[in-house]
Structure 1
Amino acid sequence: MSDKTVDLRSDTITLPTEEMREAMAQAPLGDDVYGEDPTVNKLQELAAEKVGMEAALYVPSGTMGNTCALLAHSNPGDEALFEEQAHMYYWEAGAYANVAGLAARSVAGQHGVVTADQIHENVRGDNPHFAPLSVVCIENTHNNYAGHAWSVEEVSAVSAACREHDLKLHMDGARLFNAAVAMGVEAKEYTQHVDSVMFCVSKGLSAPLGSLLCGSNEFIEEAYRMRKRLGGAMRQAGVAAAAGIVALEQMVDRLAADHAVAKGLAEGLGAIEGVEVSFSPRPTNILKVDFAALGWSAADLVAKWKERGILCNPRPPHGARLVANRHVGLQDVGYVVEVTRELVG
């Protein structure tokens, strides 16, 4: 086992910065259930400002934020529309069904991006045989499509289609700021076109926990009730929220460094014979690799790399997902590429 570790499993492994730890230690606190935690309130106000919305709600996780959004936008027995590889559809334990009580349909997007035409095509007439479609969910960046970033124009087009059919549009923006940095736009340029957005401060932004659900005052009032229903009400949560403030004030622009690391990995690994790399046309900090041509299984790949201190998450049958993050630098790219060359032989 190598003494060196290059952890590419996720950007969720990032540790809080010293500035975050200091802010957490000094944070003014109160009882957030009474709305009296000044640090939580400050974070929520900052989050709403960042995305150009009226209000925000601090929640323990992105999954809880997305679930609160579904509950607030719909009624049990309604239907939600997802991209077929979306995190909300694929990786959130079926919460749309077993918590929100929704039926679901999925459509295949191009790199995870759905179109206005697909929205129109999937709106069915008023018929008692059908669950009524009430909410469309999009993901930006798209995890399962190697962190692909939407364009603002694509979001705008889907938004217009949803308005035409009186549908709510929710954005799972867990890595929204990665998309904004990659595309050279402000986050609010995306979110002006959606009814609600959830983004995480605990991924590349490096806070230890938490996500923000943002929308109108009326929507957040209902989402607050849903957070309570899900057991997400917190007390002196400013201890954690303080790190989220630092994340939004100091850590957004540096996401470009993670994107550069991902690009270096894609180029270096892609140059090795037998290694197939999936890198988004609008890349951010995620890539996928496939070793099928070498006859390696995903388990083989994970084990071989782990022996040399390189950690990743498997993507069976023959691949893995790599996620650049603050603890992996350009110098580590060379190590990963050289080790892989040695292993491939």
Structure 2
Amino acid sequence: MIDLRSDLLSVPTDEMWEAMRAAELGWATFGEDRSVNALCERVAALLGKEAGLWVPTCGMGNLVAMLTFCVPGDRVVVEAASHVMTSEAMGMEEIARLEPRSLWAADGRMDPVAVSALVKEEGAALLILENTHTRAGGTTLTVPLTQALAAAAKKHRARVHLDGARLINASVALGAPLADLAAPANSIVFSLNKALSAPMGAVLAGSEQVVERARLMLKRLGGASVHRAGIPAAAGLVALDTMVDRIADDHRRARDLGRLLAAVPGVTTPEVIETNIVLADVTATGIEPARLVDLLAAAGLRVLERDTSRIRLVTHRLIGDEELERAAAIVADTVERNFVPPLVVPELEGYDAERDRWDWEDEDDSVDTEQVE
């Protein structure tokens, strides 16, 4: 089975397992775990921030940031298809009691002018950015665009949080230092799994003041009491040492996969694939994405349904060139065997031109338009 559903499927390396077994554990809640401390310090330095806080997941890190900067009833500006809106169970509303105000951007890149206007109009307390943008297909926010978006919010006294679950992918794709991408944000959450392959965990980074308040919010959510956090933290340190240089391979393979899939009749892929996520439009195959997902799984390929027209495929460390070629072949064979010819519906189906009437009209109910004044 070839699994291209997510880069979360990239399991720890042998070196990470060894580091986890050898980790000298301490009470992380009280700052007594060496691996957790070292990881937080290192990630904070990479992001150009004063301090870092280990959190179990990026989703919890995003929620902690919202609770750090906002109070119930505050409004938050966010892209409409962002992860915090679509995949985090609306913790923004249900737990933080905040009011989202969204802007739609097909490529995940909001317009700074529109952001400024919405922040001002709504009196928003926070702007949330996502880099890379998952649902847009792993698109990146460049350093200048991140700066412009943050400035648009800050001039109206709103803070800025960056969901950097795949920021390492953006850094590699853009050739931009992590610190430059994170600099405009007041806080950022940085994932250690996905492309980096660590088993779990993320680091929320910001100023000393921000991290101190975030620590309190994390405790209220129950995330500060992971008493063996040093185990995944030890793997996270190894990930930073060994996984970054290979991420470009994931991106190259995603581009190769996009080209292979585009050669399948009825399948289209974006002209530009920026990182490791491929969104394939299968509308022209006549096969509904949900059904195609099931058909592909039965044939030995796991992918995700993205929406009513597209499927999602994600490259990662466990996927090589051979797997890509097999995956594309499975898609081609499955589409060929299940292709549904497009339904051609005449523009005036059911209309009898000679009699100037529709075939469902009752003769007795026909209207003589010449008698209607």
- What's the TM-score, normalizing by structure 2? 0.87
Equivalent position SS for 1:122: helix
Contact 2:120–2:156 under 8 Å retained in 1: no
Q: Is residue 28 of structure 1 aligned with residue 28 of structure 2?
A: no
Q: Is residue 69 of structure 1 aligned with residue 61 of structure 2?
A: no
Report deviation, 1:98.
1.0
* Correspondence list, 1:235-274, <5 A: 235-274=227-266
The alignment of Structure 1 onto Structure 2 pairs a total of residues equal to: 335
> What is the rounded CA distance, in whole Å, between the counterparts of 1:57 and 1:142 in structure 2?
23
> What is the rounded CA distance, in whole Å, between the counterparts of 1:76 and 1:8 in structure 2?
39
Equivalent position SS for 1:77: coil
- Over residues 156-214 of structure 1, what are the superposed CA-to-partner deviations in whole Å (9 max), with x where a residue is unaligned? 11122222111101110100000000001111111111111111111110001111111
* Correspondence list, 1:221-240, <5 A: 221-233=212-224, 234-240=226-232
Hey, which bits of structure 1, 4+ residues long, moved more than 3 A? none
Of residues 160, 169, 177 in structure 2, which corresponds to 1:178?
A: 169
2:339 corresponds to which residue? none
Equivalent position SS for 1:276: coil
CA pair 282-288 structure 1, distance change in 2 beyond 3 A:
closer
Report deviation, 1:123.
2.8
Provide structure 1 residue ranges, at least 5 long, that are not aligned to the other structure. Answer: none
- What's the TM-score, normalizing by structure 1? 0.94
- Over residues 230-289 of structure 1, what are the superposed CA-to-partner deviations in whole Å (9 max), with x where a residue is unaligned? 11012131011101111112111211111111111101101112012246x461000111
> What is the rounded CA distance, in whole Å, between the counterparts of 1:45 and 1:198 in structure 2?
14
* Correspondence list, 1:49-60, <5 A: 49-60=45-56
Contact 2:301–2:330 under 8 Å retained in 1: no
- Over residues 285-328 of structure 1, what are the superposed CA-to-partner deviations in whole Å (9 max), with x where a residue is unaligned? 00111222111012221122112211111124243111111111
1:9 corresponds to which residue? 5
Contact 2:258–2:273 under 8 Å retained in 1: no
* Correspondence list, 1:155-174, <5 A: 155-174=146-165
Of residues 110, 115, 119 in structure 1, which corresponds to 2:115?
A: 119
1:326 corresponds to which residue? 317
Contact 1:149–1:282 under 8 Å retained in 2: no
> What is the rounded CA distance, in whole Å, between the counterparts of 2:303 and 2:334 in structure 1?
16
Report deviation, 1:29.
1.1
Greater CA drift, 160-169 or 208-217: 160-169
CA pair 288-240 structure 1, distance change in 2 beyond 3 A:
same
Q: Is residue 94 of structure 1 aligned with residue 124 of structure 2?
A: no
Greater CA drift, 215-224 or 235-244: 235-244
> What is the rounded CA distance, in whole Å, between the counterparts of 1:282 and 1:167 in structure 2?
32
2:289 corresponds to which residue? 298
1:37 corresponds to which residue? 33
Provide structure 2 residue ranges, at least 5 long, that are not aligned to the other structure. Answer: 337-373
> What is the rounded CA distance, in whole Å, between the counterparts of 1:123 and 1:275 in structure 2?
39
* RMSD, aligned α-carbons: 1.3
Report deviation, 1:332.
1.2
> What is the rounded CA distance, in whole Å, between the counterparts of 2:5 and 2:154 in structure 1?
38
Equivalent position SS for 1:67: helix
> What is the rounded CA distance, in whole Å, between the counterparts of 2:187 and 2:106 in structure 1?
23
* Correspondence list, 1:135-174, <5 A: 135-174=126-165
Of residues 322, 327, 341 in structure 1, which corresponds to 2:332?
A: 341
> What is the rounded CA distance, in whole Å, between the counterparts of 2:106 and 2:328 in structure 1?
29
> What is the rounded CA distance, in whole Å, between the counterparts of 1:253 and 1:76 in structure 2?
42
Letter in 2 for 1:242: A
1:212 corresponds to which residue? 203
CA pair 96-249 structure 1, distance change in 2 beyond 3 A:
same
- Over residues 11-39 of structure 1, what are the superposed CA-to-partner deviations in whole Å (9 max), with x where a residue is unaligned? 11111001100100111110011110111
1:308 corresponds to which residue? 299
Report deviation, 1:110.
4.7
> What is the rounded CA distance, in whole Å, between the counterparts of 1:121 and 1:202 in structure 2?
36
